[in-house]
Amino acid sequence: GAGVSQSPSNKVTEKGKDVELRCDPISGHTALYWYRQSLGQGLEFLIYFQGNSAPDKSGLPSDRFSAERTGGSVSTLTIQRTQQEDSAVYLCASRPAGRVDTQYFGPGTRLTVL
């Protein structure tokens, strides 16, 4: 079946602009995660949605970052007033309920802030 998809695959923006990154999880997966991969910081957890529970936002680096998950499916990560240090690959992952043995990752969105 279809895997996790993310769009756009690449995004170039100017410093100070807002960006939205989209994630479509695998159908039926109840948990959805956002991670960031950058040269300086490696792979870092950002935010986690599980069903109808309040999201775990403990990894968001600043209040410029926010995320929503609509209807328990698609998620959007929004970065306001982008800074050059936001340049990274943003990865989305999902998993089905009751499974702790893996997360299924999307191909990522490469964000470049000029």
Positions touching another protein (CB under 8 A) are: 31, 33, 35, 42-45, 48, 50, 56, 58-59, 89, 91, 93, 100-105, 107-108
Choose between 80 and 89: whose C-beta lies nearer to another protein.
Answer: 89
Closest CB to another protein among residues 72, 107: 107
- Nearest distance from residue 44's CB to another protein, in Å? 8
What distance in Å separates the CA atoms of residue 43 and residue 8, rounded to the nearest whole number? Answer: 20
- Our CA angle for 111, 48, 79, nearest 5°, is 30
Q: Which is nearer to another protein, 80 or 107 (by Cβ)?
A: 107
SS (H, E, C) 19-68: EEEEEECCCCCCEEEEEEEECCCEEEEEEEEECCCCCECCCCCCCCEEEE
Least Å distance, CB 10 to another protein, is 11
Work out how close the CB of 30 gets to another protein at its nearest, in angstroms, rounded to a whole number. Answer: 12
Amino acid of residue 92: C
